[in-house]
Amino acid sequence: MKKLLFFSMMLFLLAVAGCSSNEQTKKPEEKKQEAPAEKVELTVSAAASLQDALNEIKTSFEKENSNVTVNYNFGASGALGQQISQGAPVDLFFSAAEDKFDKLVQDGLIEESKGIDLVGNELVLVVPSDSNKEIKAFEDLTKADKMSIGTPEAVPAGQYAKETLEKLNVWQAIEGKVVYAKDVRQVLTYVETNNVDAGIVYKTDALISQKVEIAATAAENSHAPIIYPLGVIKNSTHAKEAQLFYDYLQNENSMKTFEKYGFKGLKK
């Protein structure tokens, strides 16, 4: 009985020693699973007119990249550009105008190689769906009591609108009736709520509203080209993830989403 007990104990000790030896010879990666990717939050400053398309793209991006959260700062491109110039912690800039974007490139805040003209848009005249003012063309804005555009100095859509009205020799006649807005979405809201008789917005904004009608589309030669450049901010604290989202915005599915909301793809 003692011999049997001694033999059993020896077998047990040999088994334990073998397990210990196997554990010690395992590679470090076999002992411990890879640590989960670090959680990262990206800040993207983007033109207000991109809101709906970008929110949809954000949903699909975050599903595929669970460790990255995308936070948007929507507004007028001019104001967003100023914030970045003043040191706001931003990872990417998606502007509705080339000049606002080019200023940051010139100031060394965006590398030219980290920027692309991604989508384009059209400029339209909108009126409330129940309007009785008979405004069917830009020249008819003289019939309006009030009309709205974005502040031209800060809002690219407002800049394009003023250019168009000047080209059509309408600006001087209606300048006193203009209600200026902080961004293109505010123009849309003013028209939807009948606070103004008409407004000039991007086609993409008009398409998302059931409360306005497109009265006219501006000729392409009546204003500067409407181009949306996208770029990575040079001092981004999350350069790798910023580049990841920059590339994602250019993929086939993202471009289809932009086109669904009325944008024109410019990527070649």
Going along 76-204, which residue ranges are E strands?
A: 92-94, 110-120, 123-128, 147-150, 178-181, 198-202
Query: Per-residue pLDDT for 93 more than 70?
Result: yes
Q: Identify the band that residue 6 occupies on the pLDDT scale cut at 50, 70 and 90.
A: very low
Query: Per-residue pLDDT for 20 more than 90?
Result: no
Q: Identify the band that residue 62 occupies on the pLDDT scale cut at 50, 70 and 90.
A: very high
**pLDDT at residue 38 in the model:** 87
Q: Identify the band that residue 30 occupies on the pLDDT scale cut at 50, 70 and 90.
A: very low
Phi, psi of 202 (to 5 degrees): -80, 155
Amino acid found at 88: A
Query: Per-residue pLDDT for 32 more than 90?
Result: no
- Determine the 3-state secondary structure of 3 from DSSP: helix
Q: Which domains does the chain have, with CATH numbers?
A: 40-120+228-265 (3.40.190.10), 123-222 (3.40.190.10)
DSSP 68: E
**pLDDT at residue 197 in the model:** 98
Amino acid found at 9: M
| Angstrom distance (rounded) from CA 244 to CA 138 | 42
| CB-based contacts of 5, cutoff 8 Å, min separation 6 | none
Query: Per-residue pLDDT for 2 more than 50?
Result: no
Rounded mean pLDDT, 93-99: 95
Q: Identify the band that residue 148 occupies on the pLDDT scale cut at 50, 70 and 90.
A: very high
Paired strand residues for 43: 71
pTM, two decimals, is 0.81
pLDDT tens digits for range 210-219: 999 999 999 9
Q: Are 105 and 124 in contact (CB under 8 A)?
A: no
- Determine the 3-state secondary structure of 49 from DSSP: helix
pLDDT tens digits for range 241-259: 999 999 999 999 999 999 9
pLDDT tens digits for range 185-230: 999 999 999 999 999 999 999 999 999 999 999 999 999 999 999 9
Query: Per-residue pLDDT for 146 more than 60?
Result: yes
What is the maximal distance between C-alpha atoms in the chain? 115
Q: Report the first-to-last Cα separation within the chain, whole angstroms.
A: 86
Rounded mean pLDDT, 39-68: 97
